[in-house]
């Protein structure tokens, strides 16, 4: 009987050993990855910053985004060096944040925040970038303001405070939209008033009633030589009625033509012409400003002379204005120092009808209006030459182009 008892205990011990071996083998198999299904722990969310972390010389107009894949943005801020937060918008899934605020030059911006992955684990969002620091910026001004009504010869003029080296890049950033569509072109004229200037004019005079929109996307633009654009510019204005002043100097008269009909026909006196400085220039002048009272000087002939109803037609000192002292010559001889003199009564009648951008077409004198005479001599340049002054000659222009309008009278051509 004792032998059978030992035999049962031995069998039980053998069974326990076998069972332990199976359990150990199973544990060993799981730890070694042999056929197991468990996944390694860790965050799933991936963050991409644009521009990338540590980027330098970033253009302040470049797209700035933070994008999360396999997750969503929980908290996020982009701040400048002063701690001010930059504004932006999230997409519907909160997987992308897009900055919608213009950034500054020479500034460092820092990301901070958290993304939550699809595994519900957080991932830090951090990084920084620095925008470009220009050597200088070149502010610009436009000659026609919002809501202004101008004459049919008004050019669009952008004046830069500084020299523009990369004129092609600047011109590509300029757009003129006209309704009805109007053929025209930009032209770069010689630097003036401390910087570069570019003018846009239509091929022919504007059609009355045309609505014009000008957009200059200059901020962030590399103008060359380390100079960048200072700010964007826009203007929305309208072309008014057609009014053309026509003067043939030998006739000693001047006509004002409104919408094809003669509004005024005045006796006048043009420049005496005994010296070049006293010659009224032939060519298409443009009305730029007017004064009920204006003090004029033209040494050695006169200084601080008070003139009435003065309408400037060129920066060389030419005006249409009242001058009682030349009343005896008006209608029969030319005795002025280059201006077009009218009687006080006639000058006062003309004055309120004059509008910035009206053409004043003078013919019959021995010297032509030119670049030497001031800022607006655009209409003295023939169309093919004008187009050649574009920095994009031969390239598509960033402007409206259409079938040319019926030719308008330009005088002397």
* 180 upstream amide cis, omega within 30 of 0: yes
Q: Report whether 360 contacts 314 (CB < 8 A).
A: no
CA contacts within 13 A on the Cβ side of 281: 23
Element containing residue 119 per DSSP (H, E) = none
- Hunting for tokens 């013919």 — which residue is that? 363
Q: How far apart are alpha carbons 317 and 337 in whole angstroms?
A: 9
Contacts of 13-22 spanning 24+ positions with Cβ under 8 A: none
> Of these residues, 199, 252, 285, 321, which one is catalytic?
321
Phi, psi of 229 (to 5 degrees): -65, 145
> Of these residues, 252, 268, 285, 339, which one is catalytic?
339
CA 239 to chain centroid, in Å, comes to 20
DSSP type of residue 411: S
CA contacts within 13 A on the Cβ side of 269: 21
Closest to 143 (Cα-Cα) out of 235, 274, 243: 235
Q: Report whether 189 contacts 411 (CB < 8 A).
A: no
Closest to 412 (Cα-Cα) out of 248, 218, 180: 248
Q: 182-202 b/e with 16+ CB inside 10 Å = b?
A: bbbbbbbbeeeeebbbbbbbb
* Catalytic residue list contains 268: no
| Strands 149-150 and 233-239, sheet pairing | parallel
DSSP string, 336-350: BSSSEEE-HHHHHHH
Contacts of 347-353 spanning 24+ positions with Cβ under 8 A: 347/308, 347/309, 347/320, 347/321, 347/322, 348/308, 348/309, 348/322, 349/264, 350/256, 350/264, 350/266, 350/309, 350/311, 350/320, 351/290, 351/292, 351/309, 351/311, 353/243, 353/256, 353/258, 353/263
Query: Catalytic amino acids?
Result: 321, 339
């Amino acid at each position: 009987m004792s032998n059978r008892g030992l035999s049962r205990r031995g069998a039980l011990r053998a069974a326990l050993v076998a069972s332990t071996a199976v359990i150990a083998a199973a544990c060993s198999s799981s730890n070694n990855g042999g056929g197991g299904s468990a996944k390694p722990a860790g965050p799933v969310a991936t963050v991409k910053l644009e521009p990338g972390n540590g980027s330098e010389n970033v253009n302040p107009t470049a797209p700035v985004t933070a994008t999360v894949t396999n997750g969503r943005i929980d908290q996020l801020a982009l701040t400048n060096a002063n701690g001010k937060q930059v504004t932006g918008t999230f997409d519907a899934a909160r997987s992308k944040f897009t900055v919608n605020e213009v950034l500054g030059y020479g500034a460092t911006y820092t990301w901070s925040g958290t993304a939550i992955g699809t595994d519900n684990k957080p991932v830090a969002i951090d990084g920084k970038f620095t925008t470009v620091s220009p050597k200088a910026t070149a502010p610009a001004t436009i000659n026609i303001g919002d809501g202004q009504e101008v004459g049919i010869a008004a050019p669009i003029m952008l004046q830069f405070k500084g020299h523009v080296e990369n004129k092609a890049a600047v011109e590509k950033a300029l757009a003129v939209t006209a309704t009805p569509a109007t053929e025209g072109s930009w032209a770069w004229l010689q630097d003036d008033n401390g910087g570069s200037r570019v003018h846009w004019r239509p091929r022919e005079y504007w059609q009355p009633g045309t609505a014009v929109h000008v957009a200059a996307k200059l901020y962030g633009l590399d103008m060359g030589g380390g100079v960048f654009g200072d700010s964007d510019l826009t203007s929305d204005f309208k072309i008014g009625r057609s009014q053309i002043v026509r003067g043939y100097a030998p006739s000693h008269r001047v006509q004002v033509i409104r919408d094809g009909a003669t509004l005024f026909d005045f006796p006048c006196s043009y420049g005496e012409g005994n010296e070049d400085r006293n010659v009224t220039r032939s060519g298409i002048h443009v009305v730029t400003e007017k004064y009920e009272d204006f003090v004029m000087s033209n040494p050695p002939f006169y200084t601080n002379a008070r003139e009435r109803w003065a309408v400037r037609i060129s920066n060389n000192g030419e005006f249409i204005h009242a001058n009682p002292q030349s009343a005896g010559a008006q209608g029969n001889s030319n005795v002025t120092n280059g201006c077009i003199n009218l009687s006080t009564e006639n000058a006062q009648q003309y004055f309120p009808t004059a509008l910035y951008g009206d053409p004043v077409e003078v013919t019959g004198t021995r010297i032509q209006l030119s670049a030497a005479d001031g800022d607006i001599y655009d209409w003295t340049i023939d169309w093919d030459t004008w187009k050649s002054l574009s920095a994009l000659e031969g390239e598509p222009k960033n402007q409206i182009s259409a079938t040319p309008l019926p030719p308008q009278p330009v005088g002397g051509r």
